[in-house]
Amino acid sequence: MTALFWHRRDLRINDNKGLFEALKQNEIVHPIFIFDKSILDKLPNNDQRILFIYQEIQSLKKSYQNLGSDLWVYYGEPAQIIPKIAQESNCSSVYFNNDYEPYALQRDQEIQLSLNKIKIEFIGKKDHVIFEKNEVLKDDGKPYTIFTPYSRKWKANLKEEDLKEYSIEKYSGNLVQKQQGEALITLEEMGFESKVLHDFPDRIAKNEILKNYH
């Protein structure tokens, strides 16, 4: 089977639950990222967040190329792009990691309806949180409003498997193979500047910072 994996907040290959499951369950996986026009069109053309994300996409793309694959990057409306690519690639499913923002929930619901019409599964996975909102509730099924009892319940529910790391090494051969890399859309083509106005943080926090954190 063939699947798409849609990167969103998760600009990494290792320890990525959705990508891991997509590779484990399918013979061919196409990784993609979409610069969401609905979000970007509201931002100033020198927005440093977009530049930071763009640099991370460049790094992610290189990581895929080192595995003999590539990252396909698009600019537009995800609700239009996802069904079109999935159908053109003969995919039976689209995998992603869950997002919890109101806009993301509405967008994902719209995409799911479109994919249902063409009989393509839309499969979300829990990735950047330990527990989702309905997994830590009071005994009466209602959410906590006080932190301390919530903290106790959270810790009581925590299991070793919740901290498991997902390595794709075993399944990386299921990434779609690409002899020549796909050209990456430029910031200028999306209406943004590439001038760096701030120093971005290191990818890995320094031990001294962690040790001296109050």
Q: How would you class 185 by CB atoms within 10 Å of its CB: exposed for 0-12, middle for 13-18, buried for 19 or more? A: middle
Residue 179 pLDDT greater than 80, yes or no? no
What does the block give as tokens for 92?
Answer: 């039976």
Please give the residue that has the higher pLDDT: either 20 or 202. Answer: 20
3-state secondary structure of 202: coil
Residue 120 pLDDT greater than 80, yes or no? yes
Residue 201 pLDDT greater than 90, yes or no? no
Residue 34 pLDDT greater than 80, yes or no? yes
pLDDT at 178: 86
Query: In the Cβ-directed half-sphere of 118, how many Cα atoms lie within 13 Å?
Result: 19
Q: What is the pLDDT of residues 59-118, one digit of tens each?
A: 999 999 999 999 999 999 999 999 999 999 999 999 999 999 999 999 999 999 999 999
Question: Please, which pLDDT band fits residue 56 given cuts at 50, 70 and 90?
Answer: very high
**Mean pLDDT computed over every residue of the chain:** 94
User: Once rounded to an integer, what is the mean pLDDT over residues 21-28?
Assistant: 97
pLDDT at 210: 83
- Kind and range of the H or E run holding 122: strand 121-125
- Those residues whose C-beta lies under 8 Å from the C-beta of residue 109, and which sit 6 or more positions away, are none
Say if CB 61 and CB 184 are below 8 A apart.
yes
DSSP 9-34: S---STT-HHHHHHHHH-SEEEEEEE
Q: How far apart are CA 96 and CA 32, in angstroms?
A: 10
What does the block give as tokens for 32?
Answer: 């993609």
Residue 209 pLDDT greater than 90, yes or no? no
Domain 2-127+166-203: what homologous superfamily?
HUPs (3.40.50.620)
Residue 12 corresponds to which amino acid?
Answer: R
Q: What is the pLDDT of residues 148-166, one digit of tens each?
A: 999 999 999 999 999 999 9
What is the distance in angstroms between the CA of the first residue and the CA of the last residue of the chain? 50
Residue 196 corresponds to which amino acid?
Answer: V
